[in-house]
Chain A
Amino acid sequence: MNSNHNHTTDARRPNDDERELDRHIDALRGDTGDGPSPELLAATIRMLDGQAGDDASSTAEFPRFVRTSGSRSIEPTRRFTMTFAQRIYAALSLAAAACVLYFMFVLFNASGPRVAFAQVLEKVTNAKAMAFTTTTEVPGGKQTVVMRTIQDDADHMRIESGNNVTIRSGDVMLILDATNKTATRMDLSGLPKKNGGGGGGGGLLDLNALRALSDKPAEELGAKTIDGVETTGFRIPWNNGGTFTVWADQKAAIPVRVELTIPMGTVTAKAIVDHFDFNPAIDATTFSTEVPEGYALNVQKLDLANAAPDKAAEAVAAFLKLYTSHSGGAFPADLTDWTTNTRVITEGGGTVDPMMTGTLSGQLFSLRDGYHYAGKGARLGEKDKVVFWYRVSKDQPYRGVYGDLRIEQLPADQVPSTQPTTK
């Protein structure tokens, strides 16, 4: 062997690599930039002072990272957008679940001897919890969202989607972002009370709340095999213009797949609900609202008293006030074209709180009898023109928002006869 051979082309000497790493460490250790700008320090102090004053802001805003000249903002809108979308998808998910149970109950009851009524009733009314997967497409959205929901009959819910988890336990909602290690805890107030008892509601199945969803007959679609299961399909049109299609296992009397179409202004969202699991395994951590270690916590209060469907007029009037103050007095052509409407407001010098638009969107969606918007072409101040009207249920009077943004109950003879844009 050549005694001069102290290094081969294939072998590395550990000391060489260590020295190389130390060179890199030495270089990076000294690479510390020029320090923070005075502007950044001042902006950060303002940010902290603004949030440290009250522990839970009543305006329910996410932390506002302050833009400094020469640097990017922290993109708070990205987080707003994610939560806004989550709320919409969550609303769809919950609506889908509720409808599944109700329509399964009704349809199998109506389908006669194919499925024993007792089987259906037992399964549904005895279920303490349910899990399912919702796949939602919203036209204009950037992607299809897949969510796995678990809920029980004690007002607990857990929704997992990507790296986000939303947990609702009574009056507390916790939103976890595993990517950014942030936790937002919302203390909710003004929640609507659930109907209960008397065989008409409560728990997973709230018949009283669901009966108004549709008063139209179901269309039988025939048989179809889904994932190797023989199913029977039924399609029910909703009062708000959407459709509900359920494919149910003929033998087991449980849904296999539910397809929903939900009108949302000028677009229609589609959702598929499947992978049902009645009484899934639930433990103490499933609905826990404890903040995981290492997560940065932000606490907010969210008053939902004005988020109920019967407050839709107030929410719409507030939004139209914001819009018209930045549009030169013109009303939006389409009330729920949030993209265009937000652009008009921001280009007019205003800001849009996604919490406002998200809540309003949910309110409009939950109006079982639909709503009507006739603001296209109207201008602020037209006191005799009704630009928005709705009713919570058929036995309730219509409420309307006029062109001067006042809110009134509409006598029957003053309800506009035309149905201009949406039902």
Chain B
Amino acid sequence: MIDWPQIVREHGPAVWRSCFRLLGNRADADECFQETFAAALGAIRQPSTVVRNWSGFLVRLAVARAVDRLRQRVRRTSHEHAGIEPAALIDRRTDSRPAVAAERSELSDRLRDALSHLPPNQAGAFVLHCLEGWSYRETAEQLEISVDHVGVLVHRARAALRERIDAILPDAPRPEATRTLPTDTVTQATTPTTTKRGAL
């Protein structure tokens, strides 16, 4: 007999945080939270389902549902708000928050938007490993794939996210990049340089 009240109380906060992290607003996170537990109930009824790690099981379900919602949200808003960046439609914090918090909010929104464009398996592996902090082995166990496969998915996800973020704001300042462009650069031919730092 499963003690659902205990499971909800013990693991609910972590599940909710996983939902909120990806969806960015309380209303969506609440709905995703309930969907997660409904899905868990349905999964438990399958004779083949044995849960050894409730936290991992529930967070994995939550992440999958949140990623789906994120993808649906972007698809829906791209039809309804042509010309408006989907990230602009995610709840934003008010301008009264400190600048640092506002900047972090913007970074979060941008990454959410980029995540919504990933294939679900890449997004899931990336979220569990890079955002939830799971090891490759833990991620592999919950997704029921090999550790190598997790590595491939995360690698591809990161590459796609880099590209996507770069495309969203290609002129965003790189805070730690070294820019020492000599003043006569623009007149030089764009031939590959033989120096190490300029090598392509």
Binding site for B on A (CB under 8 A): 1-13, 16-21, 23-37, 40-41, 43-45, 47-49, 51-52, 55, 63, 65-66, 68, 70-74, 179-181, 291, 294, 296-299
Contact = CB atoms under 8 A, between A and B. Distances in A.
A25 B188 CA distance: 37
A231 B89 CA distance: 54
Q: List the 9 shortest-distance A-B pairs measured between CB atoms, nearest first.
A: A27-B107, A33-B20, A6-B197, A36-B16, A296-B39, A32-B17, A296-B42, A24-B111, A71-B30
A12 to B, nearest CB: 7
Contact of B104 (A9, A11, A27, A179): A27
B125 to A, nearest CB: 14
Contacts of B13: 35-36
B59 interface: no
Given A5-B193, A6-B197, A47-B34, A33 B17 contact: yes
A47 B30 CA distance: 13
Contacts of A16: 174, 176-177
Contacts of A41: 8-9, 12
Contacts of B130: 25, 29
5 contacts: A7-B177, A19-B176, A33-B17, A45-B8, A297-B45
B181 A11 contact: no
B43 to A, nearest CB: 7
B180 A63 contact: no
B177 A66 contact: no
Contacts of A43: 34
A28 B185 CA distance: 37
B24 A31 contact: yes
A297 B180 contact: no
B26 A33 contact: yes
Interface residues of B, number: 69
Contact of B107 (A17, A23, A32): A23
Interface stretch (B77-85, B134-142, B145-153, B160-168): B160-168
A34 B46 CA distance: 33
Given A20-B162, A30-B104, A65-B31, A48 B188 contact: no
Interface string B61-93: 000100010001000000000000000000000
Contacts of B197: 5-7
A26 B7 CA distance: 29
A93 to B, nearest CB: 28
B104 A1 contact: no
Given A33-B17, A35-B16, A48 B41 contact: yes
Nearest to B170: A12
Contacts of A21: 158, 161-162, 165
B52 to A, nearest CB: 19
A6 B198 CA distance: 5
A8 B114 CA distance: 26
Given A44-B8, A44-B34, A12 B105 contact: no
Nearest to B72: A179
Contacts of A181: 68
Contact of A40 (B33, B64, B112, B182): B33
B7 to A, nearest CB: 9
B107 A28 contact: yes
Contact of B43 (A18, A24, A74, A296): A296
B194 A1 contact: yes
A359 to B, nearest CB: 24
B164 to A, nearest CB: 10
Contacts of B190: 8, 10
B179 interface: yes
A28 B131 contact: yes
B162 A8 contact: no
A27 to B, nearest CB: 4
A35 to B, nearest CB: 5
B195 interface: yes
B172 interface: yes
Contacts of A44: 8, 12, 33-34, 37
A28 B182 contact: no
B178 A7 contact: yes
B182 A33 contact: no
Contacts of B194: 1
A37 to B, nearest CB: 8
A2 B188 contact: yes
A41 B11 CA distance: 10
B41 A2 contact: no
A199 B181 CA distance: 90
A1 B162 contact: no
Nearest to B24: A31
A47 B33 CA distance: 12
B31 A5 contact: no
B68 to A, nearest CB: 7
A185 to B, nearest CB: 10
B162 A72 contact: no
A3 B195 contact: yes
A176 B41 CA distance: 17
B98 interface: no
B112 A28 contact: yes
B26 A71 contact: yes
Nearest to B111: A24
B30 A40 contact: yes
Contacts of A48: 4-5, 8, 37-38, 41
